Chains A and B, each alone.
Chain A
Amino acid sequence: MTDTISLTMTLFGAFRPYTGGKTLCLTAPAGATLAQVRGLLERELRSRFPSFADAELLAVSAFADERQILDDDTVLADGAAVAVLPPICGG
């Protein structure tokens, strides 16, 4: 068993300008919960994008897979694809 897992993050909506529509690879400790990944993602965004100014938006964003919104205590598997969903505004 490895000590870390790799996650593929896709950021939508107002986060698009940072990633340009590309996915972002994130390394997390094995057994990390989504709540921990949220903190790691914020640190990664601050590191990669010095102009990052959307921590408050990230705090109210949901994380999801292709089927459902994920709870904060979800433990992610190695290779998981996670979508970061800021507050929605369709219609």
Chain B
Amino acid sequence: MGRIHVAVCETPLSCDAALAFLDDPGHGAVCTFIGKVRNTNLDKPVGGVSYDAFDALVVNTFRAIAEEVQARWGGELDVWLEHFKGRLDIGGISVVIAVGSGHREESFAACRYVIEEVKHRSPIWKQEHYLAGDSEWIPGHSLRDRPEPLPGG
């Protein structure tokens, strides 16, 4: 059975740790996705990003997503998934996803699946800090199934 590692970290994420976790003679492919802080958003210069997370539920969703990967692409796949919590400067690593598999097709597909599911299911928030001095929480995907009409709507 493949292995799963998931975590929310307040210390810098390590790609080397992910690759070490996936070191397996049975893996002919390891695919990684690394999310980083970009220096602009919608033409506004960005100086950094703060990430907030509801750790317990994030870890639960991470594990569920990783188990879905194994159910869909093979139980022998190893999955690494860590997300940062706290403030990062430009170029800082916000998320590391790595999947090891026998062949490349499975690890490519699984890696893409994991990041898309994280963005839609894991309670994590992003506050951008702009060089102009202001900050803004970035709008995202609602986890509420049945939204009530907005006030006045």
Contacts and interface: CB of A to CB of B under 8 A. Distances in A.
A64 B137 contact: no
Interface residues of A, number: 26
Nearest to B124: A90
A90 B54 contact: no
A55 B146 contact: no
Given A60-B142, A83-B54, A91 B124 contact: yes
A87 interface: yes
The SS class assigned to the B binding surface is mixed
Contacts, number: 107
Contacts of A62: 142-145
Contacts of B140: 86-90
Most buried by B among A16, A56, A59: A59
B57 A66 contact: yes
Contacts of A85: 54, 57, 123, 143
Contacts of B127: 13-14
A11 to B, nearest CB: 10
B119 interface: yes
Interface in A1-55: 10, 12-14, 16, 55
29 contacts: A12-B53, A12-B54, A12-B125, A13-B127, A13-B137, A59-B150, A60-B150, A61-B143, A61-B144, A66-B57, A67-B56, A67-B57, A68-B60, A69-B143, A69-B144, A69-B145, A71-B145, A83-B57, A86-B125, A87-B142, A88-B119, A88-B121, A88-B123, A88-B143, A89-B140, A90-B125, A91-B83, A91-B115, A91-B119
Interface of A: 10, 12-14, 16, 55-56, 59-62, 64, 66-69, 71-72, 83, 85-91
Given A59-B149, A86-B140, A90-B125, 14 more contacts: A12-B54, A13-B52, A13-B127, A14-B127, A60-B144, A62-B143, A67-B60, A88-B122, A88-B140, A89-B126, A89-B137, A89-B139, A90-B123, A91-B118
